[in-house]
């Protein structure tokens, strides 16, 4: 990851449009002329390619490009925002002028905008779309289709998808930021349907990260996803009705960390806490979880799906301790909310694209390993549920209530994993559930890189993770009473 | 598309942004892309292009919080090389971009495999009549006017009760869109449509905790939005009614889905009738044509040509004419939800639903909500649902829920942190009452729906 790779996003985004440094200074000066606290220009280009196989055929593939600029003027709690899908000087003038119409008063300082600063980079910059040939992508899809079908005659349908994106951003703002980032992202997924005695069940698996597509061709990486999807579908063919009501629940390592994302992550985002509308508001320094829980948000793990060398406001990616030994340590911040709360950004200011405004968002959020042997955790449960795969979750930050939906789960009877159970939603109250974490495993895993987090209509890639853990009581939404 | 008219101008934000001329230039743009596709060797092609202009104003604490001007332009092209297909899309509308996008799509089509079902719609299905569906009501709206309305929404919400902690945001949105679709069979058409929204997001608080709820009004015609006072008060009253939730025992109870979420329940049935779910054999309603899948009392019919309705359209995303038709009649499946592709795959004609259902309407014996509550007696009225726990392959349904506990047909207290679970096929067989409180804010038009019994799990 040399400097020559780093220098490109600005040139790539601006040179073709004849936007010079002096033009940027001039635009920023004008945006600040009606005395806003901070002005910001966000230039972005985004290229995506995806290939899909179903019914044994590579039927469908698409390529998309978007490119544009978002201008934001901030005055206290107020934001003016405008964007354009066109990076030309005259469009930029109109866009900045629209954005600044929000502010009629403010401090109006323009900091000295520095030249590009070096920030540590947590991923490479090369284009994943061209990292392997089209022939190889098509061949891989077909190979994985045949492989999945070969694993078991009960496999009836196989869908395989490869997606790769290459994103470049350049941020120029009145508080001294002039910096760019190049972000690769790939995702591979396999979905199968298995049939037995007329019953059909689905299994899914996938992964990826901020790297290129060669990873899929290393060892049996791609085959492993197919094995996992087939295994899950076959398990579900034997699933019985899930129990209904409050139960002890053991959550497996990795992707079940979606629990933390919903139960505490969103509630610790700075915007809700500045406004006092989170179930975790005004609780810094308090015990909000069992002493076994230490939870971090970490943008700095190399090549992870949620990692960021810098966020969408130019703040370097960092590791933030949210909860340490059960005590609430800090929130995740963007610039606007941290300034209003008298603190600084934690590098969590993210946006879906130039056409969306940044807000505090998670990166990779996970619980650190504890000391229990995962086997011992299961053994400690007389009757409960062991959930190892989830579809997704949702939270109401204000009440603290959250759900997440299991796609692979088992009963635990007399300390042993027994029958698989049908998909069920689990529901709880974040602050309450975290105090009921009674055992934490020594087997921390991060998810394999499939998460998309949605907030106010904006989707961003994130990572989650956790060791095996036991929650003493959570409501299981089955049908068997 | 090449004109600079309609660029973002502070002050005059929304002054009839799209004209007839814009439709013509967008059609011209589509034709240029189709010509480029032909030049590059595509044997067939289709293009959709759009130009959306929007203004969104959010008020909080008696002042503007956000003002957002949006302008989205772009196009998507699908090319065919015989039965092989490739697609691309972009927000860049320059001539260079047209050439590059077509190249990208053609390049992809060289690598995809021949698919006997792929291709444009059959020519005889393409729409030939374009009635005025009353979808476009442009009106000037600037930031100051939107701010005034949003302030009324906020003050109306906050003055309802001392337990209203905050109107967390009140939002006014206005959008105008011009879209065009054309294909190499000679079909080309453009349309304009408008949409206005007003929303209140309110937090109520008492010694027990905080509860959030929202309400919104949406219409193609700004004059037909609910009043700002009514939107603010409705949201506030909903949040208040969620305060002080109390426990109920886990058990089997009647479940009444409120009008605001009932369309989602109908949507699961429609997903099961989707063409792709059928040909991939991944639907709990597999091979259900002409079979009984719901109570006799239920008919689901789409009315794509209703004037001014949110889901109205005269053709789908392939140019196929939309038609009034039942999907379910007296509980029996009469149509799947098909595109040309899924239709060919299933050996059926397209139903003109490549872009989904249009004003799908529950036709049943609609009753006043008070009568339905009496009929239910004791049970759960679900106001909000959480999570993704719906499996269309198996029909397993398990979702987070909050709402009101009803005893003897009367509101008893709020309930939350519940799950409701069942099987979709069973739920539709056991739909026992249909509310006359039809929600017109959605392309699926239904009132409240009563399911005879589901499993409710509580803490």
Q: Give dist(CA A83, CA A352) in Å, integer.
A: 13
- Residue A120, pLDDT score: 86
B 247-286 near A (Cβ less than 8 A):
250-252, 279-282, 286
- Residue A94, pLDDT score: 83
Chain B residue with minimum CA distance to A397 = B212
Look at residue B3 and tell me if it is in a domain.
Answer: no
Share of chain A above pLDDT 70, in %: 95
Q: What is the pLDDT of residues B130-177, one digit of tens each?
A: 999 999 999 877 888 999 999 999 999 999 999 999 999 999 999 999
Do residues B226 and B267 share a domain? Answer: no
Using CB atoms within 10 Å of the CB of residue B21, give its burial: 0 to 12 exposed, 13 to 18 middle, 19+ buried: exposed
Chain A residue with minimum CA distance to B56 = A81
The DSSP element (H or E) to which B63 belongs, if any, is: strand B63-81
DSSP B114: P
**In chain A, domain spans:** 3-237, 244-477
A 239-268 near B (Cβ less than 8 A):
242, 244-246
Interface membership of B91 toward A (CB under 8 Å): yes
- Residue A226, pLDDT score: 98
Q: What is the pLDDT of residues A209-220, one digit of tens each?
A: 999 999 999 999
Share of chain B above pLDDT 90, in %: 91
In angstroms, what separates the C-alpha of A304 from chain B's closest C-alpha?
A: 25
Interface membership of B419 toward A (CB under 8 Å): yes
Look at residue B10 and tell me if it is in a domain.
Answer: no
Do residues B337 and B443 share a domain? Answer: yes
Inter-chain contact B419–A279, Cβ cutoff 8 Å? no
Interface membership of B99 toward A (CB under 8 Å): no
Q: Which structural domain range is residue B93 located in?
A: 20-237
Do residues B73 and B182 share a domain? Answer: yes
Q: What is the pLDDT of residues B266-323, one digit of tens each?
A: 999 999 999 999 999 999 999 999 999 999 999 999 999 999 999 999 999 999 999 9
Least confident of A141-150, A443-452, B59-68, B353-362: B59-68
Q: Give dist(CA A135, CA A123) in Å, integer.
A: 26
- Residue B279, pLDDT score: 97
Q: Which of A64, A86, A477 sits opposite B88 (nearest CB)?
A: A64
Do residues B146 and B220 share a domain? Answer: yes
Do residues B395 and B342 share a domain? Answer: yes
For the cut 90, the answer to whether the pLDDT of residue A416 exceeds it is yes
- Residue B2, pLDDT score: 30
Do residues B315 and B203 share a domain? Answer: no
Least confident of A96-110, A191-205, B406-420: A96-110
**What average pLDDT score do residues A24-30 get?**
88
Chain B residue with minimum CA distance to A193 = B282
In contact, B128 and B322? CB cutoff 8 Å: no
- Residue B8, pLDDT score: 34
Do residues B291 and B421 share a domain? Answer: yes
Inter-chain contact A428–B67, Cβ cutoff 8 Å? no
Cβ-Cβ contacts under 8 Å, B67 against chain A: 79-81, 101-102
Look at residue B395 and tell me if it is in a domain.
Answer: yes
CATH number of the structural domain spanning residue B224: 3.30.2290.10
- Closest C-alpha to B71, from B170, B120, B148, B3: B3
- Residue B177, pLDDT score: 95
Do residues B279 and B228 share a domain? Answer: no
Least confident of A141-155, A455-469, B133-147: B133-147
**What average pLDDT score do residues A29-54 get?**
89
- A3: helix, strand or coil: helix
Interface membership of B244 toward A (CB under 8 Å): no
Do residues B41 and B134 share a domain? Answer: yes
- Residue A103, pLDDT score: 67
- Residue A35, pLDDT score: 66
Q: What is the pLDDT of residues B42-76, one digit of tens each?
A: 999 999 999 999 999 999 999 999 988 888 899 99
For the cut 50, the answer to whether the pLDDT of residue A273 exceeds it is yes
Q: Give dist(CA A99, CA B214) in Å, integer.
A: 27
For the cut 50, the answer to whether the pLDDT of residue B4 exceeds it is no
What are the residues whose beta carbons fall under 8 Å from the beta carbon of B119, sequence distance 6 or more?
Answer: B44, B80, B83, B340
Look at residue B243 and tell me if it is in a domain.
Answer: no
Where would I find the beta strands (DSSP E) of A11-55? 38-54
Do residues B304 and B195 share a domain? Answer: no
Do residues B229 and B257 share a domain? Answer: no
Q: Which of B49, B112, B389 to mutate to test the interface with A (most CBs of A within 10 A)?
A: B389
B 298-357 near A (Cβ less than 8 A):
none
Q: Residue A114's pLDDT band (boundaries 50, 70, 90)?
A: low
In angstroms, what separates the C-alpha of B131 from chain A's closest C-alpha?
A: 32
- Residue B425, pLDDT score: 96
Helix B95-111 / helix B20-39 crossing angle, nearest 10 deg: 50
Last residue of a domain, one of B172, B207, B237: B237
- Residue B379, pLDDT score: 98
Interstrand relation of A327-328 and B379-386 (parallel, antiparallel or unpaired): unpaired
- Residue A115, pLDDT score: 54
Chain B residue with minimum CA distance to A281 = B210
Interface membership of A67 toward B (CB under 8 Å): yes
Phi, psi of B117 (to 5 degrees): -95, -5
Q: What is the pLDDT of residues A359-397, one digit of tens each?
A: 999 999 999 999 999 999 999 999 999 999 998 899 999
Q: What was the ipTM of the complex prediction?
A: 0.92
**What average pLDDT score do residues A20-39 get?**
84
Q: Residue A111's pLDDT band (boundaries 50, 70, 90)?
A: low
In angstroms, what separates the C-alpha of A309 from chain B's closest C-alpha?
A: 26
Q: Which of B67, B276, B397 to mutate to test the interface with A (most CBs of A within 10 A)?
A: B67
Q: Give dist(CA A290, CA B124) in Å, integer.
A: 66
For B21, the token pair is 């001329």
Last residue of a domain, one of B209, B237, B265: B237
Q: What is the pLDDT of residues A167-181, one digit of tens each?
A: 999 999 999 899 999
Highest-confidence range of A12-21, A72-81, B30-39, by mean pLDDT?
B30-39
Counted domains in chain B: 2
- CATH code, A3-237: 3.30.2290.10
- Residue B5, pLDDT score: 30
Inter-chain contact B108–A138, Cβ cutoff 8 Å? no
Cβ-Cβ contacts under 8 Å, A423 against chain B: 389, 391, 394, 396, 398
Look at residue B186 and tell me if it is in a domain.
Answer: yes
Where would I find the beta strands (DSSP E) of A286-353? 295-298, 319-324, 327-328, 349-350
Q: What is the pLDDT of residues B99-137, one digit of tens each?
A: 999 999 999 999 999 999 999 999 999 999 999 999 999
- Closest C-alpha to A441, from A383, A393, A334, A369: A369
Do residues B333 and B213 share a domain? Answer: no
- Residue A6, pLDDT score: 46
| pTM metric for this prediction | 0.94
Interface membership of A126 toward B (CB under 8 Å): no
Q: What is the pLDDT of residues B450-459, one digit of tens each?
A: 999 999 999 8
The rounded mean pLDDT for chain A is: 92
Chain B residue with minimum CA distance to A91 = B7
For the cut 80, the answer to whether the pLDDT of residue B11 exceeds it is no
- Residue A91, pLDDT score: 81
In contact, A77 and B60? CB cutoff 8 Å: yes
Q: What is the pLDDT of residues A231-263, one digit of tens each?
A: 999 999 999 999 999 999 999 999 999 999 999
């Amino acid at each position: 990851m040399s400097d020559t790779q780093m220098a490109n996003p600005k040139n790539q985004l601006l040179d073709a449009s004849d936007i010079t440094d002096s033009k940027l200074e001039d635009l920023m000066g004008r945006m600040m002329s009606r005395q806003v606290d901070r002005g910001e220009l966000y230039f972005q280009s985004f290229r995506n390619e995806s290939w899909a196989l179903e019914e044994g055929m590579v039927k469908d593939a698409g390529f998309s490009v978007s490119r544009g600029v978002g201008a934001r003027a901030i005055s206290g709690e107020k934001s003016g925002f405008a964007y354009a899908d066109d990076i030309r000087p005259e469009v930029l003038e109109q866009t900045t002028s629209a954005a600044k119409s929000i502010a009629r008063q403010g401090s109006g300082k323009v900091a000295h905008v520095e030249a590009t600063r070096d920030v540590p980079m947590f991923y490479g910059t090369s284009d994943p779309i061209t990292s392997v040939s089209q022939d190889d992508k098509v061949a891989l899809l077909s190979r994985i289709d045949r492989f999945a079908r070969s694993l078991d005659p009960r496999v009836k349908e196989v869908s395989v998808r490869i997606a790769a994106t290459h994103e470049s951003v350049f941020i120029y703002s009145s508080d001294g930021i002039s910096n760019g980032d190049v972000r690769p992202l790939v995702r591979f997924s396999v979905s199968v349907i298995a049939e037995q005695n007329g019953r059909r069940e689905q299994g899914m698996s996938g992964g990826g990260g901020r790297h290129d597509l060669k990873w899929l061709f290393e060892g049996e990486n791609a085959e492993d996803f197919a094995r996992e999807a087939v295994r899950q579908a076959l398990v579900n063919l034997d699933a019985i009705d899930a129990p209904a009501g409050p139960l002890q629940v053991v959550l497996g390592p990795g992707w079940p960390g979606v629990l933390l994302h919903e139960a505490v992550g969103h509630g610790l985002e700075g915007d809700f806490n500045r406004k006092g509308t989170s179930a975790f508001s005004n609780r810094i320094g308090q015990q909000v979880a069992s002493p076994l829980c230490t939870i971090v948000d970490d943008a700095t793990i190399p090549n992870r799906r949620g990692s960021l060398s810098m966020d969408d406001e130019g703040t370097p990616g960092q590791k933030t301790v949210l909860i340490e030994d059960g005590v609430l340590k800090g929130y995740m911040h963007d610039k606007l909310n941290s300034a209003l709360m008298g603190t600084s950004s934690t590098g969590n200011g993210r946006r879906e694209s130039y056409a969306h405004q940044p807000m505090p968002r998670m990166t990779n959020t996970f619980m650190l390993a504890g000391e229990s042997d995962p086997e011992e955790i299961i053994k400690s449960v007389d009757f409960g549920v062991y959930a190892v795969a989830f579809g997704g979750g949702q939270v109401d930050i204000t009440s603290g209530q959250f759900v997440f939906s299991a796609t692979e789960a088992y009963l635990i009877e007399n300390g042993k994993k027994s029958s698989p159970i049908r998909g069920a939603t689990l529901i709880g109250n974040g602050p309450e559930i975290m105090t009921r974490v009674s055992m934490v495993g020594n087997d921390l895993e991060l998810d394999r890189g499939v998460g998309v987090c949605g907030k106010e209509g904006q989707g961003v890639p994130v990572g989650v993770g956790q060791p095996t853990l036991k929650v003493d009581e959570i409501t299981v939404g089955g049908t068997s009473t | 598309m090449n004109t600079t008219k309609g660029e973002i101008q502070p002050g005059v934000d929304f002054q009839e942004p799209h004209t007839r001329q814009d439709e013509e230039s967008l059609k011209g743009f589509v034709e240029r892309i189709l010509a480029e596709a032909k030049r590059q060797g595509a044997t067939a092609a289709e293009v959709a292009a759009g130009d959306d202009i929007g203004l969104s104003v959010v008020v909080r604490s008696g002042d503007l919080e956000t003002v957002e001007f949006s302008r989205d332009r772009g196009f998507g092209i699908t090319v065919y090389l015989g039965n092989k297909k490739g697609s691309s899309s972009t927000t860049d509308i320059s001539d260079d971009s047209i050439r590059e996008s077509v190249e990208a799509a053609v390049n992809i089509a060289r690598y995809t495999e021949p698919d006997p079902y792929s291709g444009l719609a059959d020519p005889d299905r393409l729409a030939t009549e374009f009635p005025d569906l009353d979808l476009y009501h442009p009106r000037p709206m600037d930031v100051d006017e939107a701010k005034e309305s949003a302030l009324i929404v906020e003050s109306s919400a906050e003055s309802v009760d001392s337990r209203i902690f905050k109107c967390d945001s009140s939002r006014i949105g206005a959008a105008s869109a011009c879209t065009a679709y054309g294909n190499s069979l000679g079909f080309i058409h453009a349309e304009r449509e408008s949409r206005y929204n007003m929303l209140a997001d309110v937090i109520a608080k008492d010694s027990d905790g905080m509860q959030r709820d929202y309400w919104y009004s949406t219409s193609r015609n700004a004059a037909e939005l609910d009043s700002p006072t009514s939107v603010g008060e409705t949201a506030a009253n909903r949040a208040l009614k969620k305060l002080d939730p109390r426990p109920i025992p886990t058990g089997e109870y009647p479940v009444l889905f409120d009008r605001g979420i009932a369309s989602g329940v109908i949507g699961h049935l429609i997903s099961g009738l989707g063409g792709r779910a059928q040909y991939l054999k991944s639907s709990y309603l597999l091979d259900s044509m002409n079979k009984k899948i719901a109570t006799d009392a239920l008919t689901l019919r789409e009315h794509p040509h209703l004037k001014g309705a949110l889901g109205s359209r005269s053709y789908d995303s392939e140019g196929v004419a939309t038609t009034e038709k039942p999907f379910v009649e007296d509980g029996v499946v009469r149509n799947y939800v098909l595109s040309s592709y899924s239709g060919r795959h299933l050996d059926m004609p397209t139903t003109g639903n490549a872009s989904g259902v249009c004003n799908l309407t529950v036709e049943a014996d609609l009753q006043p909500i008070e009568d339905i509550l009496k009929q239910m007696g004791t049970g759960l009225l679900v106001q909000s649902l959480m999570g993704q726990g719906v499996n269309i392959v198996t029909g397993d349904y398990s979702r987070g829920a909050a709402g009101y506990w009803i005893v003897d047909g009367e509101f008893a207290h709020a309930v939350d942190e519940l799950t409701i679970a069942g099987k979709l096929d069973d739920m539709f067989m056991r739909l026992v009452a249909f509310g006359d409180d039809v929600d017109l804010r959605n392309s699926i038009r239904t009132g409240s729906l009563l399911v005879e019994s589901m499993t409710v799990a509580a803490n």
